[in-house]
Amino acid sequence: MGYSVIICDDSRLARNFLARSLPSGFAEQQHFAASGREALALIAEGKGDLLFLDLNMPDLDGYQVLAQLRAQSSRCQVVVISGDVQPKAREKVLALGALSFLQKPLNRDDLLAELVALGLCSESLSEAPPSPQESIAGTDRMEVLREVANVAMGRAAGLMAGIFNVFVQIPVPRIQAMTASELCALIDQWQSRPGHQVISQGFVGAGICGEVLMELSSEEAHRIAALMSLSSRQPEERALMTELSSILIGACLKGIASQLELEFSQGHPIILDRTDQRVLAELGDKAVLCIRFGYQIPDEEVHQELVLLVTPDSLPALERRLTQLVN
């Protein structure tokens, strides 16, 4: 007799991949939830005794779902599957009652081995063929890109956590098209804040190029430097900002490049002055694809945003990479 399974992830791509990774016969019933609230509603209806749970979701994240299940003394068992690879993330979900923590991108062999190790699946059943594959023909490429960005930010957070020895919160990345005038307004907004600078760093690789913009205040730069034990060097502030931004932007780009199986060459980060229009000069009236990342270190009052811009001419190459990833 199989489980009544709930797969909760805001990415349809991730939900479908997990569904077809489970062996035939494992799930007697299978339900899907695109948010933590939907998952809790299904559990309240008695529709799930095993929940596969993403962490980084809008509305209600995985930590909040686990906390509510614990408060309700729910008997639903939970396996967390997340791109957030921070050791502290794993510690937090296990402390909240999760059975296990698996990293995205999910590997089917690792999933089945973990289910067997947890006693949720027999060796013989794990050798059964995958469940019938759901169609992903209609999966929007922007949805795929959002999942890539989500996993990339999780990896970047893991890297930052290792460097800074802190827990990094990562809101869900946002993808949108922005015009040059909208980007100008955003840069002006950042630069108008006292003590804040905007750093830009270009990247190129496999026909895809663009810029990453990052807002950083001098106070936050010194807090981050202290976490890295750089304060004793008393570096010049502009040099400190470009050094830190290179680390943070590099972590983000590396997370994306590794999933798309390419390498980005990165330019030297520069601090934009109030009249510098270099980033926007080639855009004209075209809209540009923007991926907006955030990361927060609440204990240090650090709240940063990165905006990754992909040039319009790069979109065909990006589309091909995303198609290869889905297939």
pLDDT tens digits, 127-166: 776 765 555 555 677 888 988 999 998 888 888 888 888 8
Same domain, residue pair 75 and 168:
no
The mean per-residue pLDDT over the stretch 189-212 comes to: 92
Same domain, residue pair 115 and 163:
no
Same domain, residue pair 119 and 208:
no
CATH of the domain at 298: 3.40.1550.10
With H, G, I as helix, E, B as strand and everything else as coil, classify residue 55. Answer: coil
Q: How many domains does the chain have?
A: 2
Same domain, residue pair 107 and 250:
no
Domain assignment present for residue 279? The answer is: yes
* pLDDT at position 306 over 60: yes
Domain assignment present for residue 306? The answer is: yes
Same domain, residue pair 305 and 229:
yes
Domain assignment present for residue 135? The answer is: no
pLDDT tens digits, 240-263: 888 888 888 998 899 899 999 999
Which of the four pLDDT bands, split at 50, 70 and 90, describes residue 325? Answer: confident
Domain assignment present for residue 155? The answer is: yes
The whole-chain average pLDDT of the chain stands at 87
Q: Which residue has the higher pLDDT, 182 or 234?
A: 182
Q: What angle do CA 54, 292, 294 make, to 5 degrees?
A: 65
Domain assignment present for residue 161? The answer is: yes
Residues 55 and 82: their CA atoms lie apart, in Å, by 6
Which of the four pLDDT bands, split at 50, 70 and 90, describes residue 232? Answer: very low
CATH of the domain at 28: 3.40.50.2300
pLDDT tens digits, 104-122: 888 899 999 999 999 999 8
Q: What is the pLDDT of residue 237?
A: 79
Q: What is the pLDDT of residue 284?
A: 64
Same domain, residue pair 202 and 157:
yes
Q: What angle do CA 306, 309, 310 make, to 5 degrees?
A: 145
Q: What is the pLDDT of residue 158?
A: 87
Which of the four pLDDT bands, split at 50, 70 and 90, describes residue 236? Answer: confident
Q: Which residue has the higher pLDDT, 224 or 292?
A: 292
The mean per-residue pLDDT over the stretch 20-42 comes to: 93
Same domain, residue pair 100 and 157:
no
With H, G, I as helix, E, B as strand and everything else as coil, classify residue 305. Answer: strand
Same domain, residue pair 115 and 190:
no
With H, G, I as helix, E, B as strand and everything else as coil, classify residue 222. Answer: helix
Residues 62 and 53: their CA atoms lie apart, in Å, by 6
Domain assignment present for residue 213? The answer is: yes
Same domain, residue pair 172 and 119:
no
Domain assignment present for residue 153? The answer is: yes
Q: Which residue has the higher pLDDT, 221 or 120?
A: 120
What pTM was estimated for this model as a whole? Answer: 0.82
The mean per-residue pLDDT over the stretch 66-74 comes to: 96
Same domain, residue pair 54 and 110:
yes
Tell me which residue range forms the domain holding 284: 141-326
Domain boundary among 94, 125, 156: 125
Domain assignment present for residue 136? The answer is: no
Which of the four pLDDT bands, split at 50, 70 and 90, describes residue 264? Answer: very high
